[in-house]
Amino acid sequence: ICFVSGGPFLGKSRLIDEVAGKAANDGFTILKSFRTSLDSFTSFFPLRQIVSAAMIKCAMLTAGREIDNEVSAANYLVDENIFKKTDRVNIGSIVPTVADEQLLSLLSGLNPKARTRTIVDSLMKILKLLQPFMIILEGDGDIDPSSWSLLAELMQRASAECPQIMLIVSSRDAPTITSAASNLRRNAVQVKLTPFEKYETELFLRVMLGVRNRDIAVDQKLLDVVHDRANGCPLFIECVVRWALEKNMIEYVEGSKKMSLKMLDERSDDVTAAIPRELSNILLAPFNNLPPPLWDALKIASCIGYSFDADLYSTLNQVLDFMPKIRELAVKHECFEQTGSHFRWKQQAVYEAVKSLLMVNQRQNIHRMIVRAFKQHKIANDDIDVKGGDVHRLLGRHCALAQDWAGAFEQYMKAGDRAKATFNFNEASKMYEEAIDFQAKMTEQPPLRSRMIPTINLGTCLRELARYKEAEAVLTRCLNEAQSEFSDITLDEHLYVRALTALAALYQAQSKYEAARKLYEKAVPIARNIQESKSSLWLAGNIAGYAETLRKSGDLPQAESHHREALEIRTRAVQEKSCTELELAVSYTQLGCTLAGMRQYEDAYEQHHRALALRYRYLDFSHGLVSESLNYCAESLCALGRGGGGIPLALHAVEIRKLIFGTSHPAYAHALSVLASCYHAVGRSFDARDCLEKCLEICEVAFQKNHANIIPNLMNYGNVLRSTGDLVKARIVYQRAITIHQLNFKRGQQASQLEKCKTELEDLSRKIELLESSASSATNNLSHAPLKVPFAPPDIEDRGTPVIVFTDIGRDVDDELALVVMSSLRRMHLLNPIAVITTLCPEENRAHLARGTLDAIGMADVPVGVGSSGGVDSDVELEVYGADYSRASPCIHEDGMGLVYRALESVPPKSAQILCIASLSDVATLIREREELFTTKVKEVILMGGVVSLEAGEALIPDSAYNNNCDVSAARFVYKKCQELGVPTATLSRWAAYGCPIPPQLLDEIAKSEHMVATNVRGVSKLSIDQLWNKVILHPADPRREKLPSRCDINWFCRTFMGTTEVSKDWTSSIWSHVKKLNMYDPLAVLLCVPAYRSTHFKWKTKIVNGVQHIVVGTSELDTGICNRLSLYHEYATLFLTAFTESLHKEKSSFL
């Protein structure tokens, strides 16, 4: 980090350009921007050019072709999954042209800190690819606080995430850094440029005059006049000396051996008088012969500013032909340099010189002319949409400089309204403050209505920024002024309601429910009285705001009544087509929350599900409102005793809010709290505890001390701690909840919440006393580790066949998709997975992925255990593909085989199936260690693998299939013992999978469900195919092939995935685009577990050993064992979709 400061014309830009040039030669990417004092109002303006250039360079780097604008670059980055849609929203905060208007509401509720973090999250995705790089922020204006905060966050994280970065900031004075960005100053190198001392001017003069001989001096008069005229500025020294040389005013005097000024005018005794005191004459000399129209364009440009956007000033073309003249000045006279639509004066000194020629009244006239041009000739709608905030802000400035205070007020109000509409409350608040200041300068005092509107808007923005004290001061002053000036005759009731409800909303945000209620009780009757329409959304919003205050203060019956009234009004508005159905989702959500508070959970879930269905229909899945409905649906299901069904919803809500709000926002904390409740409901209290501890950590920082919103989370935490056995800590937590309640609520408010806390506290105290009185140390020594919960005997008739699954999930996506199919069959009560064991090194990481997958598809109650390394040497770790939902969990059983034994002990004799879609090592261990348990409980073993020819002997022998090959001795042992012990086997071979391939497009189709597993599987599949290709092209003896059989060569790959045997020379390292089919091995093995699917879709060969049938599906390329490929494909594709849509509670629709 480097800060370069110094007055104008001291060479800051030249110094930085030389450093940037050397860095570029060393391979640095240079990202550069320029700002002026006019840009300090616009949030992130100094970073706009930086981020635009970064997107374009990153897109070109990855695409390998030219991309000429930021919009095309953003589209490409989204298409290539470098950016997600939410990244585009975040980047749109800086570069408005790439913003997705439909997703702008994702920024709602995002405090500045969280917003900064999410923007940096998005920026890191492209900046990492551009390392090493240099960010240069040049200019003389202040940098806005939002940009400082972002730079501080970026540099703080750079050492870990993006270390090859250099940041250079130039300014006239030492930069004014906000306290939030103080780490930048601590770590920065400071470079300060100062004017030359006279001896330095002499040194520079000698260089410019080419004087190398030390015996030749510089005449004192020459030195004095140059230093005086230039004020020690190197640029001006150059200008003065070059001008003097062109005039032949400097000569070498042989007698004195000095470089001296030549006397040009014999009538003057002062040789220095010939050099103008005003440097503007020297600087502007090259432009003396410009025609008047070009001089006029220069003067107008000097009033506009040091840099400007041609698109925004296109209105001047119709009156003055302005931009063509600017382009002529840029090309022919080198006055300006152009980047895209942006122009910048090439020399700041020339800009200042031109500006100095204008008198105050001349500048005012030019600004008035610019204002007239804007008003008479409107900018194209597209430019207004994209650059609306800039248009209004700049026009407001011109109005202010023209002393048109009314015009300035109007434009700054529009700029504020636009910033507010895009949830940029920081910038909006500045615009409204400017508008209020200009309003105060008006000759005639504006009416109260005109004074109140910007004040109310300012107060609302300050509330959104959590600047509660400032907001309260602004809104209270506004309301007091309104009440003192309004008479019964002149009262503007509509505006009065706005003022009342703005202050009420502020009080509600601060948990001052009684104060908020009193204001709403004034506002709502007036709103009802003045609103004639029975479908007014404005009226519905005011009634709903009052209802929310009633709900939060504990008056639930009244809250329900008002929310139902608001819902009726909104329903009429939808029927009259004055708004979309989406408006109803607001009322459904608020009514659902109220009903939940009244413990009417079934009705609450119905309302929340209606809201979720509408938001699914109209909004992007990553929208913040979708996550809100997911949360509330999960919460309602949990209250109904269906916490397992709520976990997939809660997980998706957590992931969406993490992307949108970051991990420090209360919205993210709330999602964690809901997820904790769901985990607790299915007996996973330690997972719940971890979630709640993260939740409370966020809340303690995000909310003011002892905020009422913390109480529900504390109650939840206390309940979970009690379940884990930590009674003492649970009691402390409930005590704090009671204290916070008493600080926030009056007697009778939220009485049921307080009563519940007191009941829990008393019960915990009794239990602790009992433990202490029994002289037991149990209070402090209760196990705080997950307990081994005994298995309940499965109800086979009601829940399906019990199945134990051995999987190497994370190796190929078909293992994960097998679990997806399993979840659908479980919903159909056909299969009941009672344990999932992960095998193949690194087996712990595979367990994390299995746990996350099962949770996401509605099988959070299915236990996961860690198996063996699967026959792989302990020092060899095979890859496990990544997933955001993969998670370590206290409930994962480290002793996987112990879990298997307990699971088998719980089932009736000859009822369980063993499904092995991985190495057979752990199945072999089961048989070796607990042979009697195995033979007594297991009715069949289903294996994904293969056998040698059924005619090749009296027994089945495993072939070289991958799963067999992982641990050959284990595979032979399992087949041998199953045949000896009379336990039937069903083997599904690779030939069966080849007989029913899927097109890659199926993965695209199921990803339309937006389920996290579906979208991850789609992304991983491309990577997996590329990785497999890179293995098959290696020599069979190459260790990088890992356990891949030697038969899996290039020809095998082409036949298997492309339906061809020819290898094209045009194929690159990425083979995905050429793939025509994918093989789903493991999902077929799951279907083979179900008799109905087995008989319908598979044909098999049988080998009878010791009187027991052992079947094999797929014995050769010609005998795949598939009855009807299309029918089977449709079957499991439908099961995929069912699992994803039902776990998200989406309406079933056929994407397939």
Question: Read out DSSP for 416-433?
Answer: HHHHHHTT-HHHHHHHHH
* Residue 790 confidence (pLDDT): 62
* Residue 249 confidence (pLDDT): 86
Distance separating alpha carbons of residues 274 and 272, to the nearest angstrom: 5
Distance separating alpha carbons of residues 647 and 678, to the nearest angstrom: 6
* Residue 112 confidence (pLDDT): 72
Could you tell me if 721 and 729 are in contact, meaning their C-beta atoms sit under 8 angstroms apart?
yes
Could you tell me if 650 and 613 are in contact, meaning their C-beta atoms sit under 8 angstroms apart?
no
* Residue 489 confidence (pLDDT): 44
Strand 250-253 relative to strand 217-218, pairing: unpaired
**Which parts of the chain have pLDDT scores under 70?**
37-41, 100-111, 263-274, 277-278, 378-389, 485-491, 532, 775-790, 792, 874, 1060-1070, 1148-1152
Distance separating alpha carbons of residues 1128 and 1119, to the nearest angstrom: 16
All residues at 6 or more sequence positions from 447 whose CB lies less than 8 Å from its CB, including other chains: none
Question: For residue 714, which of 758, 757, 766 has the smallest C-alpha distance?
Answer: 757
Could you tell me if 29 and 132 are in contact, meaning their C-beta atoms sit under 8 angstroms apart?
yes
- Report angle CA 909, 910, 913 to the nearest 5 degrees: 125
The answer for 1114, left when phi > 0, alpha when psi is -120 to 50, beta otherwise, is: left
Q: Quick one: tokens of 990? A: 């690779």
SS3 label, residue 1105: strand
* Residue 778 confidence (pLDDT): 45
Radius of gyration, CA atoms only, the chain: 37
Complete edge-to-edge strand list for the sheet that includes strand 912-917 = 864-866, 831-838, 801-807, 912-917, 938-945, 985-989, 1108-1113, 1101-1105
Residue with tokens 């000859």: 910
Could you tell me if 378 and 317 are in contact, meaning their C-beta atoms sit under 8 angstroms apart?
no
* Residue 274 confidence (pLDDT): 67
Distance separating alpha carbons of residues 725 and 1115, to the nearest angstrom: 55
Hey, what amino acid is at 122? S
Integer CA distances (angstroms), 419 to 85, 312, 388, 509, 1046, in order: 21, 18, 9, 22, 63
Q: What pLDDT, in 10s, does the model give residues 711-763?
A: 999 999 999 999 998 999 999 999 999 999 988 888 877 888 899 999 999 99
Question: For residue 905, which of 982, 820, 810, 835 has the smallest C-alpha distance?
Answer: 835
> How many CB atoms are located within 10 Å of the residue 1150 CB?
8
Distance separating alpha carbons of residues 1115 and 136, to the nearest angstrom: 66
Largest CA distance in the chain: 133
Q: Quick one: tokens of 389? A: 């905030």
Helix residue spans in 212-334 (DSSP H): 220-230, 234-246, 279-283, 292-304, 315-320, 322-332
Could you tell me if 3 and 190 are in contact, meaning their C-beta atoms sit under 8 angstroms apart?
yes
- Report angle CA 1087, 1091, 1095 to the nearest 5 degrees: 90
- Report angle CA 516, 518, 519 to the nearest 5 degrees: 65
DSSP at 503: H
All residues at 6 or more sequence positions from 862 whose CB lies less than 8 Å from its CB, including other chains: 833, 834, 835, 836, 854
* Residue 464 confidence (pLDDT): 84
- Report angle CA 694, 700, 702 to the nearest 5 degrees: 95
φ, ψ dihedrals at 1048, nearest 5°: -85, 80
